[in-house]
Amino acid sequence: MTATLPTAPARPAAGPRHARARVRPVLRLRNSPPDVLLCGALLCAVLCVQGWNITGYPNLSDDEGTYLAQAWAVQQGRGLAHYTYWYDHPPLGWLQLAAVTWLPSVVSPELFTVAPMRWAMLAVSAAGAVLCYALGRRLGLPHWVAGLATLLYGLSPLSVVLQRQIFLDNIAVVWMLLAFCLAASPRRHLWHHFAAGLAAAVSVLSKETMLIVLPALLVTLWQHSHRATRKFAVTGAVTACVLTGLAYPLFALLHHELFPGPDHVSLADGIKYQLTRAGSGFVLSPGTGARRVLGSWLYYDRVLPLAGLAAASVLLVTARRPGTTGRRLLGPALAVAALTAMVLRPSGYLPAMYVIQLLPFLALCLAGLAAAVPARILHTPPGFRRRWYAARWTAVLLLAGGALGWTVPRWYDGDRAAVTRELNGPYRQAVSWLGDRGKVADPGRARVLADDAVWLDLVHRGYSPGTGAIWFYKADLDPAIRARLPHGWRDVDYVVASPTVRRDAVDLPVVEGALEHSRPVAVFGGGADRIEIRRVARGSAR
| Within a domain: 337 | yes
Cα atoms in the Cβ-side hemisphere of radius 13 Å centred on 61: 19
**343 and 432 both lie in a single domain:** no
| Within a domain: 132 | yes
**Average pLDDT in the 120-144 region?**
94
Q: How would you list the strands of the sheet with 448-450, edge to edge?
A: 469-471, 448-450, 494-497, 531-536, 518-524
- Percent over 90 (pLDDT), the chain: 66
Q: What is the DSSP string of 447-480?
A: -EEE-HHHHHHHHHTTPPBTTTEEETTHHHH-HH
**397 and 485 both lie in a single domain:** no
Range of the domain at 531: 425-536
| Within a domain: 248 | yes
**408 and 487 both lie in a single domain:** no
Domains identified in the chain, total number = 2
- CB atoms near residue 252 (< 10 Å): 17
- In 3-state terms, what secondary structure has residue 25? coil
**413 and 478 both lie in a single domain:** no
Which pLDDT value is given to residue 290? 92
**122 and 96 both lie in a single domain:** yes
- Best CA proximity match to 127, nearest among 183, 172, 185, 63: 172
Q: What is the 3 state secondary structure string of 355-406?
A: HHHCHHHHHHHHHHHHHHHHHHHHCCCCCCCHHHHHHHHHHHHHHHHHHHHH
- Best CA proximity match to 152, nearest among 308, 374, 312: 308
| Within a domain: 368 | yes
**298 and 396 both lie in a single domain:** yes
Which pLDDT value is given to residue 15? 41
Cβ atoms of 255 and 84 within 8 Å: the answer is no
**225 and 351 both lie in a single domain:** yes
Per-residue model confidence as pLDDT tens digits over 500-520: 999 999 999 999 999 999 999
Report residue 22's pLDDT band, with 50, 70 and 90 as the boundaries. Answer: low
**265 and 285 both lie in a single domain:** yes
Cα 159 to its chain centre, rounded Å, is 9
Cβ atoms of 163 and 204 within 8 Å: the answer is no
Per-residue model confidence as pLDDT tens digits over 90-123: 999 999 999 988 888 877 777 889 999 999 999 9
**407 and 482 both lie in a single domain:** no
Segment (H or E) for 495? strand 494-497
Which pLDDT value is given to residue 542? 44
Cβ atoms of 377 and 351 within 8 Å: the answer is no
**438 and 410 both lie in a single domain:** no
| Within a domain: 67 | yes
Which pLDDT value is given to residue 391? 63
**269 and 405 both lie in a single domain:** yes
- In 3-state terms, what secondary structure has residue 518? strand
Q: What is the 3 state secondary structure string of 49-78?
A: HHHCCCCCCCCCCHHHHHHHHHHHHHHCCC
| Within a domain: 542 | no
Asked if pLDDT for residue 178 goes beyond 70, the answer is yes
Which pLDDT value is given to residue 3? 42
CA-based torsion, 118, 122, 123, 129: positive or negative: positive
Report residue 470's pLDDT band, with 50, 70 and 90 as the boundaries. Answer: very high
Per-residue model confidence as pLDDT tens digits over 373-427: 766 655 656 555 555 666 656 666 776 777 777 778 888 888 899 999 999 999 9
**94 and 230 both lie in a single domain:** yes
| Within a domain: 14 | no
Angle separating helix axes 452-460 and 425-434, nearest 10 degrees:
40
| Within a domain: 404 | yes
**Average pLDDT in the 301-316 region?**
93
Q: Among residues 420, 443, 475, which one ends one of the domains? A: 420
Distances from the Cα of 216 to the Cα of 68, 127, 326, 466, angstroms: 31, 21, 14, 42
